[in-house]
Amino acid sequence: MAKIIDGKAVSQQVKDEIRAEIERDGLSIGLAVVIVGNNQASRVYVNNKKKACEVCGIKSYEYALPEETTEEQLLELVDTLNEDKNINGILVQLPLPKQINEEKIIERISPEKDVDAFHATNVGKIMIGNYAFLPCTPAGVMELIHSTGTEISGKECVVIGRSNIVGKPMAMLLLHENATVTICHSRTKDLAEVCRRADILVSAVGKADFVTADMVKDGAVVIDVGMNRNAEGKLCGDVKYDEVEPKASYITPVPGGVGPMTIAMLMKNTLMAKKLQG
Ligand code: GUN
């Protein structure tokens, strides 16, 4: 029987601490939240981020642009926000419509306001291990692992997925804490065998029911970053929860696991942006 890691509770603690600091120091902090087009999932994420801002005492400024927005128009908005003294952090919700090159937009955001830590400058700093902005989802996962009291140093950690947003920075943060890290992906040979080695298994694949019980070592800590819809349209992670849960020592639910932590880390970065900008 696994213990369930309560991402909602841990994220609430983080947000409470942020709010207390903002109130104590009388800080005025602004986060620009940019959404382009009509992606339903993006709308839900953006609303949740705005709600978290309110809870923390951060002002959010939404810029909702139409689906047909050009790359040039979005670059202009980013330039304006880079210059705006009331804006400490800039978040451009991904994915963007196909006519816009995401990389070009991310690279235009001032690294000092890049609260997602997606800019190459910030990614490089994460790689080196000397960074101000946390990669939000991986940093949230680290907090959840820490909340269990599990020792990371020397452990076998397997990350499934190699995205720039989750898989790669996740591996770096585990490595910084002295884990032995393996990254698996679609070309990995005998994925189940590799996963079975993991003391800590982090799945960021984006496929419902991808992680089955035969891929999990007895007593492993299982972290599910997936955010999928199953055949009935219900929100679910990558892990086949009912069969994996009895084998794991700790497991994150979906929803209520990693998701709320990602947003709490975004709030932490926005506070950090303010401190860096003075
Ligand atoms: N789309 C999916 N996850 C994220 C995220 O963490 N930040 C942004 N900006 N877009 C996303």
DSSP per-residue string spanning 107-138: HHS-GGGBTT--SHHHHHHHHHT--SSPPHHH
The pair phi, psi for residue 55, each rounded to 5°, is -60, -35
- pLDDT at residue 258 greater than cutoff 90: yes
**Which of the residues 49, 155, 168, 217 is marked catalytic?**
49
Question: What is the structure's pLDDT at 106?
Answer: 98
H/E segment holding residue 200? strand 200-203
Q: Is the beta carbon of 110 within 6 A of some atom in ligand 1?
A: no
Q: List the chain domain ranges.
A: 27-113, 136-258
Q: How far apart are CA 164 and CA 21, in angstroms?
A: 31
Distance 137 CA to ligand 1 centre (A): 9
Question: What is the structure's pLDDT at 278?
Answer: 87
27-113 and 136-258 share one fold:
yes
**Which of the residues 93, 168, 238, 247 is marked catalytic?**
93
What's the sign of the alpha-carbon dihedral 246, 206, 11, 128? positive
- Give the pLDDT mean for 116-132: 98
Relative to the CA of 91, which ligand 1 atom is closest? Answer: 9
Over the stretch 200-243, which tens digit does the pLDDT of each residue have?
A: 999 999 999 999 999 999 999 999 999 999 889 999 999 999 99
Q: Is the beta carbon of 92 within 6 A of some atom in ligand 1?
A: yes
Q: Is the beta carbon of 116 within 6 A of some atom in ligand 1?
A: yes
**Which of the residues 15, 113, 114, 116 is marked catalytic?**
116
Q: How far apart are CA 176 and CA 134, in angstroms?
A: 13
127 CB-near residues (< 8 Å, 6+ apart) = 172
Q: How far apart are CA 174 and CA 79, in angstroms?
A: 35
Q: What percent of the chain is predicted at pLDDT more than 70?
A: 100
Give catalytic status of residue 93 as yes or no. yes
- What does the block give as tokens for 122? 């910030």
What pTM was computed for the model?
0.97
267 CB-near residues (< 8 Å, 6+ apart) = 14, 15, 18, 52, 53, 56, 58
Q: In the CATH scheme, what is the code of domain 27-113? A: 3.40.50.10860
- Give the pLDDT mean for 114-119: 98
- pLDDT at residue 1 greater than cutoff 90: no
Question: What is the structure's pLDDT at 18?
Answer: 98
Q: Which fold has domain 136-258?
A: Rossmann fold (3.40.50)
Distance 219 CA to ligand 1 centre (A): 31
For the chain, the straight-line distance linking the first and the last C-alpha, in angstroms and rounded, comes to 48
The residue whose CA has the least distance to atom 3 of ligand 1 is: 94
- Give the pLDDT mean for 49-62: 98
The residue whose CA has the least distance to atom 8 of ligand 1 is: 93
Over the stretch 71-97, which tens digit does the pLDDT of each residue have?
A: 999 999 999 999 999 999 999 999 999
Average per-residue pLDDT for the chain: 98
Q: How many CA atoms lie within 13 A of 100 on its CB side?
A: 26
